Structure 1
Amino acid sequence: MTPKKTAPDAASAPIADLSALPQQVAAIRDKILAACDKGELEALRIPIDWNETRPMFERGAGKHPAGTDPIAILRAQSFDSRGFEILNLARAVLSQPYARIQRGPVTIYEWPAFPGPPATEAEERAQWSCVRFSDLAHSQEEGRPRVMRMGFGADGVWHYFWSET
């Protein structure tokens, strides 16, 4: 039997208009930003627990076993071990334009949407503001920033917050 071919993802150009977001996506984005405003990583538990299933914070098998507290995972990923880096990254990521990505029948809203190599110094700073400290060495080896990505379903479900590979 021949494997069924899937269509490649279709991504929009970067979108800065937040009023174009579905209401549920705008609501979870606002909850995450409100948690960032509190300056305490534990405040992210509210938007994390909005989901029926928890968002993924690591690609693949990861370092943490299933059932590990998501705040503990984020704290471990934060260079400062208290979560300030993660809160700042979440704010930086959600402050950028987003893309609407069609993956078969599923629509994902993903931040940030950088259209390619930065054309200006401001765009370059914006990209680097979305990079975890621990990813700087990889980014420099690859010659481009390894930015954090945050994705939501059209229904407002928070799917992931991780470094791109």
Structure 2
Amino acid sequence: MPNSAEQKTGIVSAPSRDLAALPAPVAAIRLKILEACAKGELEALRIPIDWNETRPLFQRSGGKRPPGYDPIETLRALSFDRKGLETLNVAKAALSQAYSKIERGPVTIYEWPAFAAPPTTPEAERAFWSCVRFYDYARPIANGGPRVTRLGFGADGVWHYFWSEG
């Protein structure tokens, strides 16, 4: 039986790069997002966004969405360049890293990226910082670290979120 800390944060697996271990729906949505990123046009993300019955959250304090809400315009507004290129680059960078499997009761989330420890090589440090939006460089989390942008998918392939931590 999980303790109270595990119930709050979930049971988090060690980071993994084993894409063959992913449930097929998770692998499929990850691939669709990477294909959209490769096109270099933010509008291409509309396909994986619309795969969901409900749209993924792009901000932790997203609140109620207004009528006519367009997720592509939201992502464009969150992108430093206002075109969405930063958004595509961060998504691609995050999905190129290891992932973690997070279990909270009956819910399982696959989350990218999974950085288990601070980077120790120049290559690992570049990979780490490639998952931070420009805006978030100036907004460190409580421990002083950067707000890494994360993507989370349910085991059924539902895209739940694409947001900065913290």
In the alignment, the residues of structure 2 paired with residue 141 and residue 12 of structure 1 have an alpha-carbon distance, to the nearest angstrom, of 23
TM-align CA RMSD:
1.9
Following superposition, the deviation at residue 23 of structure 1 comes to 0.4
Q: CA deviation at 1:145?
A: 2.1
What is the correspondence of 1:1-165 to structure 2 with a 5 Å cutoff? 7-8=7-8, 9-61=10-62, 65=66, 67-139=68-140, 142-165=143-166
Hey, what's the Cα distance between the residues in 1 that align with 2:64 and 2:124?
32
Q: Which runs of 5+ in 2 are unaligned?
A: none
Instruction: Give identity over the alignment, percent.
Output: 66
Change (3 A) 1:134 1:156: same
Q: Unmatched 5+ residue regions in structure 1?
A: none
- Judging changes above 3 Å, is the alpha-carbon distance between structure 1 residues 118 and 63 closer, same or farther for their aligned structure 2 residues? farther
Instruction: Summarize the Cα distance change of 1:48–1:118 in structure 2 as closer, same or farther, 3 Å threshold.
Output: same
**What is the distance in 1 between the residues matched to 2:80 and 2:25?**
31
* Contact 1:64–1:73 (CA under 8 A) maintained in structure 2: no
CA–CA separation in structure 2 for the residues paired with 1:32 and 1:7: 30
Q: How high is the TM-score relative to the length of structure 2? A: 0.90
Kindly provide the amino acid, as one letter, of the partner of residue 7 in structure 1: Q
CA drift at 1:108: 0.3
Amino acid at match of 2:12: A
Query: 2: CA distance between counterparts of 1:66 and 1:126?
Result: 37
Native 8 Å contact 1:127 1:145 kept in 2? no
Q: Which amino acid aligns with 2:7?
A: A
- Asked if the contact 1:131/1:147 (under 8 Å) is kept, the reply is yes
TM-score (normalised: structure 1): 0.91
